[in-house]
Structure formats: C-alpha cells, structure tokens
C-alpha cells in the first residue's frame, strides 16, 4: 500500500483544495479512486466566501457603471434624443456584439422592443438591412472585437448613426462611434478590492470569474437604465437613475437574503454542491429560460462551459437522461414552457434547479433544488403579460440579480474545483 504523507494542519481552504487535487492526480495515475478526507471536507463544503466577495465586487462595479454614465450625462441625453427621433421616424435600431457582450446587448434590444422600438440583431437570421438614418449600437468590452468592428464599419458605410458601449474609449469602437459611453470592464477592478487582495494571496486564481463578465453585467444594468430614460416623459437622467437604483437595490436585497438567513445560505451551498457534482461526474447541464431569462441562461451556459462543464441548450434536450442537471430560470415561477420542462425532467429523474423570485411557486414545487432571487414585483408570468398586451414598463431586475448570483457561483466553483485562469481561457471560444 502506498502512503502519502499530508500535513492537515493547514487551515486555508485553497491550500486544502491543492492538497486534495494533488492526491487525486497521484491516485488517478495509479488507477485508484480517492474520496475527500473527512478532515478536509468540512473546511470546504460550507464556504461561500468567494461567492460573497465576487458578487459584492460586481455590485460595486454596477454602481461604478451608473456613475460613469452620469459623468457623461450630456452624451446619455444625446443618445436618448437620437433614439426617440429614430423611433418617431420609423427607423431601426441595430444591435451588434459578440459572445456574452452580444447576449447582454440582445437583452437591451428586447427591452427596447417592449417600448415600441424596431430592433434588429446584425448577423442573425432575421436581421433587417441597415439604411440611412438607422442607429447601430455596438457592445464590446475591449472595443476591438473584429466582428463587431466590421459590423460598425459596414453600418457607417450605410449611413447609420453609431452608438458605442465599451470599456475602452481609446479603442476602435470608442473612436469611430458618433456617441460613446464607457462602462467598467475587467481592467477596472480596484487594487484594494477584497477579490484582488485574495488573488495576490493566491487564494483565488481565476480572474475570469467574475472579472471576465464585469462589462456584460454592467451592460444589462445600463440597458435597463436606458429604458428608464427613454420611458420618462420629461427627465432622461432621472429615469435612468430611478431604474438603475431599483436594479441595484434588488441585487443588494438578494445577496443579503442569501447570506444572512441560515436556510437561504444552506440552499446556496446545496446549489454549489449540485453544480460541483454535475461537473465532477461529467453530467450535462441544460440551461433554459423564456424571453429575457433565456438570454441570461445562454450567457451563463457560456460561463459554466469555462469550468469544463458539459453544457447544453434547448435544441439538445432530446439527449437528456436520468441524473443530468436542468437549470430553469423563471422570475414568476409560473411560465408555462418552463413548467413543461420541469415536469418532463422530474419524470425521468433529472436533478432540477429552479431559479425564481417566489417560494413557493409552481416551479419550486417541481424542482429538486430552488434558489430565490429577488427582482419581480408580480407573481404573474412576464411571458403571459407580454402575450396579453400589458403596457406596463418591464424591469429586468430579476434577470440582472440572477446573472450576478450565477457569476458569483462560477467564481466559487472555480475556486472549489481548482480551475485556473489559464484553463478557463482555454475553454473560452
């Protein structure tokens, strides 16, 4: 029998993970299975410190994005005026962006549709032709994404007005746009933040979680604030501030509830373990939402793919099996299509995680695990409201809070599973 001497006096969870992973590597080479030592496991299984510090960082960056827009209030007012005129003239708003930036831009586009704008997504199947007088909005954290820049070059040739949303005003998008607003990106993380301090101490080794998604989450917040400005009958800035403040308040509320109440904290820990088990056992996870929540599901399917998770969307639903994981996102917990998937998954013995604003709800009753995220003011399905022609201004506070919570879970999982920044970059398409 081979004996491996291990010093279990180390109290740092990350050090314990390094020890555990070293044992796994050695025993894997020997063809032997290994279980986590009972002394190591208790130090790890109830730790959500990385989750907390990550989401608090994202909250701070969200607040910084609001300040950034307000510091260029004249540009924001110009954007609102240009877009209102385009709407009055029957012009189209064209959205472009790649990856998660494109997804967050698409969420903004769907919000614009809700208040009567004609919106098209460049490069998509039903994209409309760009014509003179239209507006093209580019979402790119770096401001240098090749495909996004190419789309904007083409839009300029067609006579469109360009609005750039980027983290770098000196980038190509920043320089060629008619009006540009800067939102925080991963280079804006303050050196004194808890997250970066932990990085320097080598406690957290994955800057892509959450730094790689800072810009995209700020875009969601900006998009909601933009709708607030456009919806306002008198004061664009006050409309922006009202909506963005509401969104951040709901995120603060969610974080407080998840961490302050024992039952909620336990549910969060169970969800983290659920993802850990799926990743370690190589069980596929299916990510499904409806409308805006489907965009959030797609954004975070990408994030979990960075963790080497086998991730699927609705078109692979036919491959589902017992013990696979289904993640369903529904603010009301009553969306008909979501309940259909939950029932189907339950019948074949899948693990089902429901993320909703309400407990109990029809969704929570059908799931093996539930995570409550605030941000919905009504139990009526937003999907049902839309098809019933509701004129109520829709706020994506639930979607924004869910996106931040999921990114915090990604950060915690990356830490728990010992996934390095290099490995996450390798998985990034």
List, for residues 379-401, the tens digit of each pLDDT value: 776 666 666 666 578 899 999 99
**E strand residue ranges, 150-276:** 161-166, 179-182
In angstroms, the CA 402 to CA 400 distance is: 5
pLDDT at 389: 63
List, for residues 83-135, the tens digit of each pLDDT value: 999 999 999 999 999 999 999 999 999 999 999 999 999 999 999 999 999 99
Other Cβ atoms less than 10 A from the Cβ of 415: the count is 24
pLDDT at 420: 77
pLDDT at 141: 93
Q: What is the mean pLDDT of residues 196-218?
A: 58
List, for residues 25-83, the tens digit of each pLDDT value: 555 455 555 444 443 444 445 689 999 999 999 999 999 999 999 999 999 999 999 99
Average pLDDT, rounded, for the chain = 86
pLDDT at 381: 67
End-to-end CA distance of the chain: 43
pLDDT at 355: 98
Q: What is the mean pLDDT of residues 210-234?
A: 88
Torsion of CA 48, 427, 325, 52, to 10 degrees: 10
In angstroms, the CA 157 to CA 172 distance is: 16
pLDDT at 187: 61
**E strand residue ranges, 29-98:** 92-96
In angstroms, the CA 223 to CA 201 distance is: 36
Strands 285-288 and 311-312: parallel
List, for residues 149-176, the tens digit of each pLDDT value: 999 999 999 999 999 999 999 999 999 9
The answer to whether the CB of 176 falls within 8 A of the CB of 186 is: no
- For the cut 50, the answer to whether the pLDDT of residue 216 exceeds it is yes
């Amino acid at each position: 029998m081979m004996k491996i001497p291990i010093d279990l006096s180390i109290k740092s969870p990350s050090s314990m993970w390094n020890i555990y992973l070293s044992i796994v590597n050695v025993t894997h080479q020997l063809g032997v299975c290994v279980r986590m030592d009972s002394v190591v496991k208790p130090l790890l299984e109830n730790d959500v410190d990385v989750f907390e510090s990550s989401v608090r960082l994202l909250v701070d960056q969200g607040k910084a994005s609001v300040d950034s827009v307000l510091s260029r209030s004249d540009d924001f007012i110009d954007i609102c005026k240009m877009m209102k005129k385009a709407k009055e003239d029957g012009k189209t708003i064209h959205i472009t962006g790649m990856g998660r930036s494109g997804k967050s831009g698409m969420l903004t586009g769907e919000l614009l549709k809700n208040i009567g704008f004609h919106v098209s997504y460049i490069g998509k199947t039903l994209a409309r032709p760009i014509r003179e007088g239209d507006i093209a909005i580019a979402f790119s954290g770096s401001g240098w994404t090749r495909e996004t820049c190419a789309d904007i070059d083409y839009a300029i040739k067609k006579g469109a007005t360009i609005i750039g949303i980027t983290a770098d005003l000196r980038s190509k998008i920043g320089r060629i746009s008619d009006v540009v607003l800067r939102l925080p990106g991963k280079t804006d993380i303050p050196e004194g933040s808890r997250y970066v301090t932990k990085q320097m101490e080598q406690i957290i080794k994955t800057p892509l979680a959450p730094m790689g998604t800072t810009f995209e989450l700020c875009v969601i917040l900006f998009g909601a604030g933009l709708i607030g400005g456009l919806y306002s009958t008198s004061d664009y800035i006050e409309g922006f501030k009202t909506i963005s403040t509401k969104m951040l308040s709901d995120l603060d509320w969610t974080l407080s509830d998840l961490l302050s109440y024992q039952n909620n904290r336990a549910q969060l820990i169970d969800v983290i373990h659920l993802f850990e088990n799926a990743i370690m056992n190589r069980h596929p996870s299916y990510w499904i939402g409806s409308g805006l929540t489907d965009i959030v599901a797609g954004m975070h399917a990408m994030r979990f793919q960075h963790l080497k998770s086998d991730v699927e969307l609705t078109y692979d639903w036919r491959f589902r099996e017992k013990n696979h994981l289904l993640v369903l996102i529904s603010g009301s917990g009553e969306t008909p299509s979501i309940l259909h998937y939950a029932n189907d998954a339950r019948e074949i013995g899948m693990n089902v995680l429901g993320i909703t604003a309400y407990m109990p709800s029809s969704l929570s009753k059908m799931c093996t695990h539930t995570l409550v995220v605030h941000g919905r003011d009504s139990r009526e399905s937003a999907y049902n409201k839309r098809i019933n022609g509701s004129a109520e201004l829709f706020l994506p506070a639930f979607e924004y809070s869910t996106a931040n919570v999921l990114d915090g879970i990604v950060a915690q999982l990356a830490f728990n599973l010992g996934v390095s920044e290099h490995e996450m970059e390798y998985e990034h398409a």
